[in-house]
């Protein structure tokens, strides 16, 4: 793992919300083709880290480099254009659009004429639209949501809506995915399917940074784990190292959350 240069370098990332120090000088690397998990108690700053990485708000200080490009200061759309896509802790899908249209929104991140041009009914954009549909259909098959492609997303089960959100991110063909609690609200069967799919994404060569409270999922799929507590990184290592870290057990793994 260490023989490859990191795909992402997070350097002393720091965030204050007024007087609240939500993320405190957190640094770590993510190596290409690996799964890294960020764990820690509620309010530890995990989602805040994701929001800074993906450009939803700027850090107070510190930087994020991705593929040797400085992401700090970029807007979410431009971060996505670099090949870094995310999903949300509080699922964000368009309820009143079909499954297919939700997923095509993700594809527009990579289509050359962009979303605006895609709206124009020119011959070229109709051809591109057809090509986009062809390109995303295997994703719908992979996530077992083909039969629902014309269904409004608001009418799907929660687990299916989570699959739509994942498909929308993957439709942009990202090199790296940020998944914020992808198993939250899923039943045991859906969580097992998700674990298999995340491992498949890794096998395809994608890099994954995941925030998750489901410890069996995290310990199962992660190559490395970072532990946050009150905004600070308190540990980093392999699943075995983290499971045997006394401070982590005391603060997080040993508690009622585990």
The CB-of-178 to ligand ATP minimum distance in angstroms stands at: 12
CB nearer ligand ATP, residue 47 or residue 245? 47
Taking the complex as a whole, the smallest distance from the CB of residue 99 to Mg ion amounts, in Å, to: 26
Collapse the DSSP code of 16 into the 3-class scheme (helix H, G, I; strand E, B; otherwise coil) and give the result: strand
Q: Which residues bind ligand ATP (CB under 6 A)?
A: 17, 20, 22, 40, 42-48, 89
Among 21-29, 47-55, 147-155, 215-223, the segment contacting Mg ion (CB under 5 A): 47-55
**To the nearest 5 percent, what fractions of the chain are helix, strand and coil?**
40, 25, 35
Q: Among all chains, which residue has been given the structure tokens 């964000």?
A: 92
Nearest distance, CB of residue 61 and ligand ATP, angstroms: 16
With CA atoms as reference, report the closest residue to 168 among 93, 111, 114, 112. Answer: 93
Contact 245, 225 (CB under 8 A): no
State which of residues 47, 109, 161, 207 lies at the interface with Mg ion (CB under 5 A).
47
Q: Is the CB of 103 or the CB of 178 nearer to Mg ion?
A: 178
C-alpha to C-alpha distance for 29 and 6, rounded to whole angstroms: 6
Q: Considering the complex, what minimum distance in angstroms separates the CB of residue 43 from ligand ATP?
A: 4
Q: What values do phi and psi take at 29, rounded to 5?
A: -110, 155
Residues lying near Mg ion in the complex (CB under 5 A) are found at: 46-47, 89
């Amino acid at each position: 793992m260490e023989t490859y240069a990191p795909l992402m370098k997070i350097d002393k990332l720091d965030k204050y919300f007024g007087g609240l120090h939500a993320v405190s000088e957190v640094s770590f690397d993510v190596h290409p083709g690996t799964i890294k998990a960020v764990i820690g108690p509620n309010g530890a700053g995990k989602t805040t880290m994701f929001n800074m990485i993906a450009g939803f708000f700027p850090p107070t200080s510190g930087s994020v480099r991705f593929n040797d490009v400085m992401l700090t200061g970029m807007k979410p759309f431009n971060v996505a254009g670099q090949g870094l896509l995310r999903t949300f802790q509080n699922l964000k899908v368009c309820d009143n659009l079909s499954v297919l249209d939700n997923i095509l929104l993700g594809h527009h991140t990579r289509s050359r004429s962009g979303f605006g041009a895609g709206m124009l009914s020119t011959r070229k954009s109709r051809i591109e639209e057809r090509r986009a549909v062809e390109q995303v259909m295997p994703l719908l098959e992979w996530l077992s949501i083909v039969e629902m492609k014309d269904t409004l997303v608001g009418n799907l089960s929660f687990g299916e809506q989570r699959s739509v959100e994942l498909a929308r991110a993957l439709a942009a063909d990202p090199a790296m995915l940020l998944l914020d609690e992808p198993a939250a609200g899923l039943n045991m069967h859906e969580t097992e399917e998700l674990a298999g799919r995340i491992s498949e994404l890794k096998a395809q060569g994608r890099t994954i940074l995941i925030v998750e409270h489901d410890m069996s999922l995290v310990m199962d799929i992660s190559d490395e784990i970072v532990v946050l507590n009150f905004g600070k990184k308190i540990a980093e290592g392999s699943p075995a190292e983290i499971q045997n870290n006394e401070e982590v057990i005391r603060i997080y793994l040993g508690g009622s959350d585990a």
